[in-house]
Chains A and B, each alone.
Chain A
């Protein structure tokens, strides 16, 4: 089973990188663009097929390492 983990800064946390990208898009003429957030995608093969156990494992991985709960939130997609 494959996992795709999307990590983003929480809504209340200023994403200065997103802001810089947004300004650059405005500079290229897309002046209506708003709310750009730059995140991170982490993909891996879990080496197991049980969905419930995979969900629990990936959640633990996110909480321990892949995301920092002080500043980031995450979303997990599992794909058989």
Chain B
């Protein structure tokens, strides 16, 4: 099992993602600089980590979405490779058009950093299968622009097609329909604002994030 974490200038959770993957799965994890024009062979998972790629210039994720490596990430996703965008990574996937919607400033204009209780809305995805019968999870969020927005038609489609994967029990940032994480129609591209990479073992206080990494590596 092989995974890659893409590193953009301004990523700050890239190491966290590598350690989280290594400790919660048997994956071999390589770090890929955003200027690369090729990804390692045989990847099962590509992670776009949290942080502030390009200082969130223009819009969060906008510049990173145009990085050379992103056309390779999109091509890999097209071949069915799992892609997970966490926090800033979610913003990048939306800006790249690989997921619908956009992330706006938090409704209360505040940076929110705390554990959040989530409903696991769809446990049939490649990213949530290991949750089994569990319908709840707790992870931490840390974002200033985590307010998911999409038009009503798109939101209806996401709900109707089972593309909403995680929902906040108590909406921390004004997200439409309390959405915390979604997948693309094919189910192999996930974007979520909560950080599984900050909640993957008991010593961190929260361990549910490990189930997400274990799910996706088991699906490989």
Contact = CB atoms under 8 A, between A and B. Distances in A.
B58 A16 contact: no
A17 B105 CA distance: 8
Contacts of A41: none
A50 to B, nearest CB: 26
Contacts, number: 34
Given A14-B107, A16-B107, 18 more contacts: A9-B104, A13-B104, A13-B149, A14-B104, A14-B174, A16-B104, A16-B105, A16-B106, A16-B108, A17-B109, A20-B109, A68-B102, A70-B101, A70-B102, A70-B149, A70-B150, A71-B102, A71-B104
Nearest to B94: A70
Interface residues on A, range: 10 to 19
Majority-rule SS of B interface residues: loop
Nearest to A40: B58
17 contacts: A12-B151, A13-B104, A13-B149, A14-B104, A14-B174, A16-B107, A16-B108, A17-B105, A17-B109, A20-B109, A65-B58, A66-B58, A68-B62, A68-B95, A70-B94, A70-B149, A71-B149
